């Protein structure tokens, strides 16, 4: 782990803690009704520009458009602005503009969407320019006050110096004047090699509050006069509420109202959430189970299996004539893999608070996309978006669940609308969160490879059969039956998720099969299963060819130097080709996704009774530029927790149209006891910006699965691994 902390602001935060006994750093969450009524842009002090506010005491407030959900984007984006601003990092704090403000200001803060590992890579250019422009305006304001040319002035550490005379002033003194200047048009940016704040392992800006209970999550919010709601939607996908007996629970302690929520859910509103939940549990509800009441995971699996050989499929990547090459090959290898539905299982269940009046609707919620939450608010409220706003709150995990679909926001607004003027906080139970997920898509994959007499791969077909996330969330983006993200990590070169092998005859296609279980973008998205399918099968091919898995890969990767570089990095660090410690076995995987190149080598052992232990993983990421290396390491480590939890334990099954796993006791996560040591290698080859929150997840499972084969001679081709018998044959 990186422990570099030369730019740490821990001292400052600890001092603030000791002196005030309260935490003044962090986000401004408007909690009062008067703040709600204001709604618009913050009052004083005036901003230098949309990204930077500097208070008279030199405090620097950096506006962050993307959402912090644990991935560190808040700190990383602030570093990028601060780098160009040349401000004192110890004086930096942050705030979220609201999506309503963004709308009113013609999207001056750009896209709020925080998914696809895009937070930094897609906003780095304009946030750096925001910081640089603010610096130029501050310098110009000082130069104007001194009546000297701006070119004679320089800025560093929030201090502006007139070089010829040595005069100095601070950002806080000139900020108001700077804010009145016309923004510069030409805003040059620093060469990343000259970075002093960005690129360094600075401490996160949001840590102290998360260690003493003072961080406010959506679930913790309190508004004056607020009531609490517990909600239950039909547990069968596509089902509706036929009737409910409100009178049966109306007299229970604390209960205020029992209300319908759309056509498929019911809510109990009470003084406390616990009382609302208790009454909801006692509420008789009759469901109209709808058309999916007989849906089952077995039926879905059979349907997907049929798709593996279906004549109709959409081609994702093609070269030469794969089928002919395989027919003429010396050796034919075939395998079928399967990946299940999974729930995001954020630690903080879905929740939101809403206040609806006839002319305004405000929502407070943890969301990965404030603008999408605003759209959901407006649609459910019956009011124009200009009369609505959403106040973003730190997320207790997102992983994609809180990004594309804001079903819970719709619900809270529909409840609040029935109780005008009363703030309503709605919290899902864990069971509701499990049943009403937007699940990792289910797919199967049939791979066929052909080897020539020398064991060279001459042809590969890869048929993916199964669910399309895009079809389930943004069907308007399906063109000619093609889901543009289903081939993540398998695309031809030139994108952000490209296959790392040159195979002379290749056919990768998709037979779309969409079951009733609603799909969602799940951290890592389609790269997760695609990397398992390809990287495990490449291992199978290497074995069939009698070749070393690293050497077999390298031979296919000469045209893919960045893919190869991360693979080589992990192989070198783990000592591939030298004996592993006694009883341990190694497996490799590499892929490209979310703009970054990643590889992993896992070292595992399997006991005689089939118990798997994952001891050590070496992981490499080339993300082009590294804004905060210690946070990238945190994302890499976290990716193994998320990816290995999925690989080992997690599976959502459906029976009678509803999800069978309702809590962590039947949907286990990876535990500390199972966590391997992780060594991270961060490569910054430059020239591009890659994401870091997701790509490594995709190499977690295949590296371990290939190591399991090395250990046991058994190929596991179906996830999760808990179903596999790993005892030596």
Partner 1 sequence: MAKLNVNGRTIDVAVEDDTPLLWVLREQIGLTGTKYGCGVAACGACTVHVDGVAVRSCATPVSAFTEAQKIVTIEGLAPAGTQHPLQKAWVELDVPQCGFCQSGMLMAAAALLAQTPKPTEDQIRAEITNICRCGTYNRVLAGIKRAAEGGPATSG
The interface with partner 1 within residues 579-638 (CB under 8 A) comprises: 630-631, 634, 637-638
> Residue 238 or 629: which CB sits closer to partner 1?
629
Q: Which residue has the tokens 């079951």?
A: 515
Look-up of token digits 């291992």: 539
Least gap, CB of 452 to partner 1 (angstroms): 42
Q: How far is the CB of 414 from partner 1 (least distance, A)?
A: 23
Say how many Å lie between the first and final Cα of the chain, rounded. 39
Task: List the one residue from 23, 195, 274, 688 that touches partner 1 (CB under 8 A).
Answer: 274
Work out how close the CB of 152 gets to partner 1 at its nearest, in angstroms, rounded to a whole number: 40
Separation CA 344–CA 339 (nearest Å): 15
Smallest CA-to-CA distance from 283 within 308, 265, 309, 303 is with 265
User: How far apart (Å, rounded) are the C-alpha atoms in residues 541 and 227?
Assistant: 60
Measure the CA–CA gap between 381 and 374, rounded to whole angstroms: 10
Strands 60-63 and 314-319: unpaired
| Given 664, 722, 723, 727, the residue binding partner 1 (CB under 8 A) | 664
Taking CB under 8 A as the binding criterion, the range among 79-87, 149-157, 272-280, 461-469 that sits at the site for partner 1 is: 272-280
Nearer Cβ to partner 1 (278/513): 278
Of the pair 473, 613, the CB lying nearest partner 1 is at 613
Using CB under 8 A, pick the residue from 26, 30, 42, 70 that binds partner 1: 70
Kindly write out the interface string for residues 108-127 of this chain, putting x where it contacts partner 1 by CB under 8 A and - elsewhere.
Answer: --------------------
- Which is closer to partner 1, CB of 86 or CB of 348? 348
Q: For partner 1, which stretch binds (CB under 8 A), given 145-153, 268-276, 703-711, 716-724?
A: 268-276
Cβ contacts of residue 239 below 8 Å, gap of 6+? 264, 287, 288, 289, 290, 292, 293, 657
Q: Which residues contact 235 (CB under 8 A, 6 or more apart)?
A: 287, 435, 658, 659
CB-nearer residue toward partner 1: 13 or 174: 13
Cα 648 → chain centroid: 20
Question: Closer to partner 1 at the Cβ: 72 or 624?
Answer: 72
Told to check if 400 binds partner 1 by CB under 8 A, we report: no
Chain mean position to CA 156: 34
Residues 6+ apart with CB under 8 A from 233: 261, 264, 265, 411, 432, 435, 436
CB of 514 to partner 1, least distance (A): 27
The Cα–Cα gap between 164 and 178 comes to 22
Q: Are 569 and 576 in contact (CB under 8 A)?
A: no
* Least spacing, CB of residue 273 vs partner 1, in Å: 7
Site for partner 1 in 408-427 (CB under 8 A): 427
**From candidates 356, 399, 522, 689, binder to partner 1 by CB under 8 A:** 399
Considering the complex, what minimum distance in angstroms separates the CB of residue 506 from partner 1? Answer: 34
Residue 168 forms beta bridges with which residues? 161
Q: How far is the CB of 408 from partner 1 (least distance, A)?
A: 15
Applying CB under 8 A, which of residues 117, 367, 429, 528 lies at the interface with partner 1? 429
Q: Considering only 314-322, 388-396, 527-535, 540-548, which stretch makes contact with partner 1 by CB under 8 A?
A: 388-396
Query: DSSP letter at 652?
Result: B
Residue with tokens 């390809």: 534
Joined tokens for residue 431: 């069971």
Tell me how many residues contact partner 1 (CB under 8 A): 74
Q: Which two tokens stand for residue 426?
A: 């709605």
Residue 57 in the binding site for partner 1 (CB under 8 A): no
Smallest separation (angstroms) from partner 1 to the CB of 710:
24
Give the shortest CB-456-to-partner 1 separation in angstroms: 39
Q: Output the CA torsion 574→579→583→585 (10° steps).
A: 50
- On whether the CB atoms of residues 600 and 621 are closer than 8 A, the answer is no
Which residues within the stretch 12-41 sit at the binding site for partner 1 (CB under 8 A)? 13-14, 17-19, 21
Closest approach of partner 1 to the CB of residue 317, in Å: 31
Task: Tell whether residue 1 is a contact of partner 1 (CB under 8 A).
Answer: yes
In the range 673-712, which residues lie near partner 1 by CB under 8 A? 673, 675, 677-678
Q: Which is nearer to partner 1, 274 or 688 (CB)?
A: 274
Binding to partner 1 (CB under 8 A) within 287-326 occurs at none
Q: How far is the CB of 393 from partner 1 (least distance, A)?
A: 12
- Considering the complex, what minimum distance in angstroms separates the CB of residue 692 from partner 1? 13
What residues from 207 to 266 belong to the interface with partner 1 (CB under 8 A)?
207-217, 219-220, 222, 228, 253
d(CA 543, CA 333): 10
Instruction: Using the structure block, give the residue that is written with the tokens 């961060």.
Output: 682
Which of 165, 243, 272, 493 binds partner 1 (CB under 8 A)? It is: 272
Q: Which stretch binds partner 1 (CB under 8 A): 85-93, 94-102, 230-238, 665-673?
A: 665-673
Q: In angstroms, give the least distance from the CB of 642 to partner 1.
A: 6
How many beta carbons lie within 10 A of that of residue 149, not counting itself? 11
How many whole angstroms separate alpha carbon 660 and alpha carbon 291? 18
CA atoms within 13 A on the CB side of 447: 21
User: Which CB, 40 or 347, lies closer to partner 1?
Assistant: 347
Q: In angstroms, give the least distance from the CB of 368 to partner 1.
A: 12
Compute the least distance from the CB of residue 607 to partner 1, in Å.
Answer: 16
Backbone angles phi, psi at 232, to 5 degrees: -135, 125
Strand, coil or helix: 701: helix
Gap between the Cα atoms of 316 and 486, Å rounded: 8
3-state DSSP assignment of residue 238: coil
Which one of 236, 304, 395, 574 is in contact with partner 1 (CB under 8 A)? 395
Contact set for partner 1, span 156-215 (CB under 8 A): 203-204, 206-215
Taking only Cα atoms into account, the Rg of the chain, rounded to an integer number of angstroms, comes to: 27
DSSP state of 292: G
- Binders of partner 1 among residues 72 to 91 (CB under 8 A) are 72
Query: Which residues in the 340-369 window bind partner 1 by CB under 8 A?
Result: 345-349
Query: Coil, strand, or helix at residue 478?
Result: coil
Q: Tell which residue, 439, 375, 402, has the closest CA to residue 237.
A: 439
∠ CA 541-546-552, rounded to 5°: 55
Return the number of the residue (195 or 217) whose C-beta is nearest partner 1.
217
Q: Which of 244, 642, 689, 709 binds partner 1 (CB under 8 A)?
A: 642
Residue nearer to partner 1 on the CB measure, 270 or 458: 270
The least distance separating partner 1 from the CB of residue 674, rounded to whole angstroms, comes to 8
Using CA atoms, how far apart are residues 423 and 418, in angstroms rounded to an integer? 11
């Amino acid at each position: 782990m990186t422990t570099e902390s030369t730019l740490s602001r821990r001292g400052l935060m600890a001092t603030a803690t000791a002196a005030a006994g309260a935490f003044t750093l962090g986000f401004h969450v408007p909690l009062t009704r008067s703040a709600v009524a204001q709604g618009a842009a913050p009052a004083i002090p005036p901003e230098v520009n949309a990204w930077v506010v500097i208070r008279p005491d030199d405090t620097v407030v950096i506006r962050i458009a993307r959402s912090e959900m644990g991935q560190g984007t808040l700190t990383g984006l602030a570093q990028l602005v601060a780098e160009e601003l040349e401000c004192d990092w110890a004086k930096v704090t942050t705030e979220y503009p609201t999506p309503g403000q963004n709308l009113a200001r013609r999207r001056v803060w750009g896209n709020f969407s925080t998914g696809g590992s895009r937070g930094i890579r897609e906003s780095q250019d304009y946030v750096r320019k925001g910081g640089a422009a603010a610096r130029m305006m501050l310098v110009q304001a000082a130069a104007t006050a001194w009546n000297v040319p701006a070119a004679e002035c320089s800025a560093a550490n929030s201090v502006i110096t007139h070089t010829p005379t040595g005069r100095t002033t601070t950002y806080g003194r000139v900020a108001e004047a700077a804010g009145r200047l016309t923004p510069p048009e030409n805003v040059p940016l620093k060469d990343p090699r000259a970075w002093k704040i960005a690129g360094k392992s600075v401490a996160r800006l949001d840590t102290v509050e998360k260690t003493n209970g003072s961080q406010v999550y959506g679930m913790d919010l309190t508004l004056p006069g607020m009531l609490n709601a517990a909600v239950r939607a039909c547990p069968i996908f596509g089902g509706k509420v036929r009737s409910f007996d409100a009178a049966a629970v109306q007299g229970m302690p604390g209960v205020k109202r029992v209300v319908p929520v759309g056509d498929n859910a019911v809510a109990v509103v009470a003084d406390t959430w616990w009382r609302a939940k208790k009454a909801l549990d006692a509420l008789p509800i009759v469901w109209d189970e709808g058309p999916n009441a007989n849906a089952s995971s077995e039926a879905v699996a059979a349907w997907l299996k049929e798709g593996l050989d279906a004549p109709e499929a959409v081609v994702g990547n093609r070269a030469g004539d794969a089928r002919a090459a395989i027919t003429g090959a010396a050796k034919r290898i075939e395998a079928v893999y399967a990946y299940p539905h999974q729930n995001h299982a954020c630690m903080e269940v879905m929740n939101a608070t809403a206040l609806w009046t006839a002319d305004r609707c405000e929502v407070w919620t943890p969301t990965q996309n404030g603008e999408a939450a605003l759209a959901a608010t407006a649609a459910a409220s019956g009011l124009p978006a200009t009369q609505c706003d959403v106040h973003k709150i730190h997320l207790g995990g997102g992983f994609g669940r809180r990004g594309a679909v804001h079903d819970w926001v719709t619900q809270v607004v529909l409840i609040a609308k029935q109780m005008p003027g009363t703030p309503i906080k709605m919290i899902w139970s864990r069971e509701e969160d499990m049943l009403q997920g937007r699940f990792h898509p289910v797919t199967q994959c049939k791979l066929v490879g052909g080897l020539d007499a020398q064991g060279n791969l001459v042809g590969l077909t890869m048929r993916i059969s199964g669910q399309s996330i895009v079809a389930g969330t943004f069907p308007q983006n399906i063109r000619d039956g093609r889901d543009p993200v289903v081939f993540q990590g398998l695309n031809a070169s030139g994108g952000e998720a490209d296959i790392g092998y040159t195979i002379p005859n290749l056919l990768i296609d998709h037979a779309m099969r969409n079951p009733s279980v609603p799909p969602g973008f799940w951290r890592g998205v389609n790269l997760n299963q695609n990397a398992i399918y390809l990287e495990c099968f490449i291992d199978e091919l290497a074995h069939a060819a009698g070749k070393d898995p690293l050497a077999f890969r390298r031979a296919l990767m000469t045209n893919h130097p960045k893919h190869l570089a991360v693979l080589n990095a992990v192989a070198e660090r783990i000592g591939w080709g030298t004996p592993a410690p006694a009883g341990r076995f190694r497996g490799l995987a590499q892929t490209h996704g979310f703009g970054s190149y990643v590889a992993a080598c896992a070292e595992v052992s399997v006991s005689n009774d089939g118990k798997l232990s994952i001891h050590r993983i070496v992981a490499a990421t080339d993300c082009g530029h590294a804004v905060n290396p210690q946070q990238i390491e945190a994302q890499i480590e976290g990716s193994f927790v998320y990816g290995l939890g999925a690989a080992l334990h997690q599976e959502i099954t459906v029976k009678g149209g509803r999800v069978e796993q309702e809590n962590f006791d039947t949907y286990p996560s990876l535990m500390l006891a199972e966590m391997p040591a992780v060594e991270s290698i961060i490569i910054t080859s430059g020239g591009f910006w890659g994401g870091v929150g997701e790509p490594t997840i995709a190499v977690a499972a295949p590296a371990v699965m290939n190591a399991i084969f090395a250990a046991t001679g058994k190929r596991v081709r179906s996830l999760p691994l808990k179903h596999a018998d790993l005892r030596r044959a």
